[in-house]
């Protein structure tokens, strides 16, 4: 573990902001999300090249400066030991001083997002696309450092939150709406806080209420995986933290500080739409029995090989939740994994080792992309369009996104 941490401490990223970012809401969504997720992913090793006096204008940050945002994160604009080998993420002006060759250029326009040069420039503002673009850029930066993908940093990527088909098959997308309906957010850790971060850039529909449900408190590990948590929040209720974040952005909230299980039912007058971000199968099996009309659930990969894998499902859909996760608690033996064998030999609790081996990995940049697609499904439903029954995406090869099964 000590060797791994020592190696990982050399990882970092440089984020360069062009002058245009000061007046471009979409560029600010990308920049803030990239800085937020990268600072957690790289243990604070983020060099931000921008004026600390840059004014912020996106929802929830009005009147604050870039320096205020960096202080909230607990990072300086320049780490004590930035390294020349760190990848650069450039946001804003196409010709950026300090960006250099080989910089990653995330972009978002309407429902579309990617790296490199955008295919369209409509100027439509849809915050989830900016959140996804930032997550994708940080993911490629991670791959460049790790050396596990020779295409990272050398490819143009174009994706759509509206369509899982190749770019040449994209049809006209509907208007971008940013009016959020009443909704439950169930599970407020890695994924749930990414949902709230994304919704925070959007406005609540008139009279909308967000139900924030989680039983846990913020821990030290939460700070490194979840976009709303800081060290000052350790031991604070995740539900209360998330509710406070949303209330500061104009949302009305309700607290539900108990576990979601098979006994829970939606009450009269409560939202019948939910976004799930839980990491246990027993809760997922009960999704369709609680009385929700529409549910979006995001799941992540569990191991070092597939932690960048994302699957988004909607319910009702092609399969029942109870059937999908019927046997999900039965895990393969981990005896062949040397690291876990060593833990067991050292006297670790076998039950704890099994949980560690099978728990979904919460990389913040992966959560950003998952949250963007989750909120996009919520907005599709709000617009009255059919939603994707399921959607598979792996950030190592994002353009291999599987065409999802549409379900009315």
pLDDT tens for each residue of 74-119: 987 677 677 888 999 999 875 555 555 679 999 999 999 999 976 6
Q: Mean of the pLDDT values across residues 17-25?
A: 94
Domains 2-169 and 179-407 share a fold: yes
In the chain, what are the domain boundaries?
Answer: 2-169, 179-407
pLDDT at 257 over 90: yes
DSSP annotation string for 205-264: PTT-EEEEE---B--HHHHTT-TT--GGGTTSBHHHHHHHHHHTTT-EEEEE-S---TT-
- Is residue 77 left, alpha or beta, with left meaning phi > 0 and alpha meaning psi from -120 to 50? alpha
Topology given in CATH for the domain delimited by 179-407: Rossmann fold (3.40.50)
Please give the positions annotated as active site: 351
**What's the pTM?**
0.90
Identify the pLDDT of residue 332.
Answer: 47
Do the beta carbons of residue 116 and residue 353 sit within 8 Å?
no
Alpha carbon separation from 186 to 310, 324, 387 (Å, rounded): 18, 19, 20
Calpha distance 190→198 (Å, rounded)? 13
Provide the b/e sequence for 380-400 (b: ≥16 CB within 10 Å). Answer: bbbeeeebbbbbebbbbebee
Calculate the average pLDDT of the chain.
Answer: 86
Calpha distance 237→219 (Å, rounded)? 10
Identify the pLDDT of residue 401.
Answer: 80
pLDDT tens for each residue of 168-194: 556 667 777 778 999 999 999 999 999
Question: 2-169 has which CATH code?
Answer: 3.40.50.720
pLDDT tens for each residue of 196-212: 999 999 999 999 999 99
């Amino acid at each position: 573990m000590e060797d791994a941490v020592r190696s990982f401490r050399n990882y970092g990223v440089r984020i360069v902001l062009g002058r245009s970012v000061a007046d471009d809401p979409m560029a600010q969504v990308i920049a803030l999300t990239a800085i937020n997720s990268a600072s957690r992913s790289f243990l604070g090793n983020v060099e931000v090249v921008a004026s600390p006096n840059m004014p912020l204008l996106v929802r929830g940050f009005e009147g604050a400066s870039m320096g205020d945002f960096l202080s909230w994160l607990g990072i300086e604009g320049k780490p004590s030991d930035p390294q020349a080998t760190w990848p650069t993420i450039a946001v804003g002006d196409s010709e950026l001083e300090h960006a250099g060759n080989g910089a990653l250029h995330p972009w978002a326009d309407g429902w579309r997002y990617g790296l490199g040069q955008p295919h369209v420039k409509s100027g439509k503002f849809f915050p989830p696309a900016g959140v996804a673009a930032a997550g994708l850029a940080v993911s490629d930066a991670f791959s460049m450092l790790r050396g596990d993908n020779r295409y990272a940093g050398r490819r143009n990527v174009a994706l759509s939150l509206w369509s899982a088909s190749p770019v040449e098959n994209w049809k006209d997308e509907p208007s971008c709406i940013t009016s959020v309906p009443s909704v439950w957010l169930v599970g407020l850790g890695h994924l749930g806080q990414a949902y709230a971060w994304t919704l925070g850039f959007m406005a609540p529909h008139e009279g909308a209420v967000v139900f924030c449900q989680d039983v846990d408190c913020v821990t030290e590990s939460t700070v490194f995986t979840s976009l709303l948590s800081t060290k000052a929040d350790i031991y604070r209720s995740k539900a209360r933290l998330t509710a406070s974040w949303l209330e500061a952005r104009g949302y009305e909230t309700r607290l539900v500080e108990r576990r979601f299980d098979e006994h829970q039912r939606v009450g009269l007058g409560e939202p019948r739409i939910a976004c799930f971000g839980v990491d246990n199968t027993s809760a997922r099996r009960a999704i369709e029995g609680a009385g929700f009309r529409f549910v979006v659930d995001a799941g992540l990969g569990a191991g070092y090989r597939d932690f960048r894998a994302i699957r988004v499902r909607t319910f009702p859909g092609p399969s029942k939740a109870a059937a999908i996760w019927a046997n999900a608690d039965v895990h393969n033996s981990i005896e062949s994994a040397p690291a876990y064998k060593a833990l067991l030999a050292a006297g670790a609790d076998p039950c704890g080792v099994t949980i560690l081996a099978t728990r979904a990995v919460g990389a913040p940049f992966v959560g950003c992309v998952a949250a963007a697609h989750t909120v996009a499904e919520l907005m599709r439903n709000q617009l009255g369009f059919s939603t994707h029954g399921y959607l598979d995406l792996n950030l190592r090869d994002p353009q291999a996104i599987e065409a999802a099964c549409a379900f009315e």
